[in-house]
Amino acid sequence: MAQLIDANLDRAREGLRVIEDWSRFGLNNKDFVIILKDCRQQLGQQHYEFYKRARSTSTDKGAGLKHPAQSNRSHPKEIVAANFARVQEALRVLEEFTRTTHPELSKISANIRYRIYDLEIDILKATNNKLRIEILNSCRLYLITRPHPQLLKTVSLALKAGVTMIQFRCKEGTDSENLGLAKEIASSCKSHNSLFIVNDRIDIAIASDADGIHLGQEDIPIEIARELIGPEKIIGLSTHSVKQIESAEKESCDYLGVGPIYKTPSKKNQKSLGIDFLKKVASQIRIPWFAIGGINKVNISEINRAGAKKIALINAIMSTKDPYTASKELLEKIK
């Protein structure tokens, strides 16, 4: 029995330390670290010497046993989730087996276990947000969809080619149809470690568990969108002037769309800003931003040289017969 308790105290404390170090070095969140350190110290104070003396790895038939799932944890969120499960399971074992022999440890284990349930949600949300921001910061090519007979196939090929952000524009069809498409695209994006953003429709973004929402100048205010979608999700905003860019940077949006740079069918009534405007604002914008509007494989290099390191486009991929090759060629031109 002492050997069992020792093993689960080790397991719980080790799992807590993994999560604590991620909170410290990965999330840079002092509040999480304080809670986790306190839990670890409480268990450490109950880890009596006679439990440790019962330890015997040579006679433990379970020592060194591994499962294939352990080798598949490539992302921090998977490692964090696995260690939360490890801690919770170990605490439950401690709670059950020390109820009469070491009631103080049983009570502490139960209290920490319930405390960890809520903390897991908060840390995983913070982890997801960090990973979303990392993908956003590294993204070079952002595909915005339009109605297409092979929409899902086109998006899938673009993702395979290396596109790391997809925006779903649900301008046609019923809400039910659009939600179904949104869920399928969201799943495809997740499997490629890419971001899925919904244009305008916060209800569909929430229902499909999208990574974020993209808003126009005439859509609901950023602060209301933030309340609805939550602090861990991404909000993008379209901007068409220096004044709008400056105003957007003061709000809680995560990235900007700047354009249209050239005339584009999707913004027929919007005046194009031109390459000179792009050169003027390229070094002044302080948050991630994407040049958008009429960009294709012919002019993308010019846009890139003007200072745009992130490009958003529609027809250059959506209108091609070979979305995979088109995406590859566009990515190769962005330096």
SS3 (DSSP) at 286: coil
Query: Catalytic one among 267, 280, 309, 328?
Result: 267
Question: Residue 7: which residues within 8 A CB-CB, separation 6 or more?
Answer: 55, 60
- The catalytic position among 109, 194, 238, 327 is 238
SS (HEC) of 87-130:
HHHHHHHHHHHCCCCCHHHHHHHHHHHHHHHHHHHHHHHHHHHH
The amino acid occupying position 20 is E
Return the structure tokens found at 55.
Answer: 């330890």
3-class secondary-structure state, position 248: helix
110 residue type, one letter: A
> Which one from 13, 169, 233, 310 is the annotated catalytic residue?
169
**Does the annotation count 11 as an active-site position?**
no
Say which residue the tokens 């991620």 belong to: 22
How much helix, strand and coil, in percent to the nearest 5, is found in the chain? Answer: 55, 10, 35
Is residue 140 among the annotated active site residues?
Answer: no
Residue 31 neighbours by CB under 8 Å, 6+ apart: none
Q: Read off the tokens for 116.
A: 């960890």
Rg of the Cα atoms in the chain? 25
Determine whether 156 is an active site residue: no
- What is the Cα–Cα distance from 168 to 314, expressed in whole angstroms? 11
Helix 30-45, helix 103-138: angle, nearest 10: 150
**CA–CA gap between residue 133 and residue 138 (Å, rounded):** 9
Active-site positions?
169, 238, 267
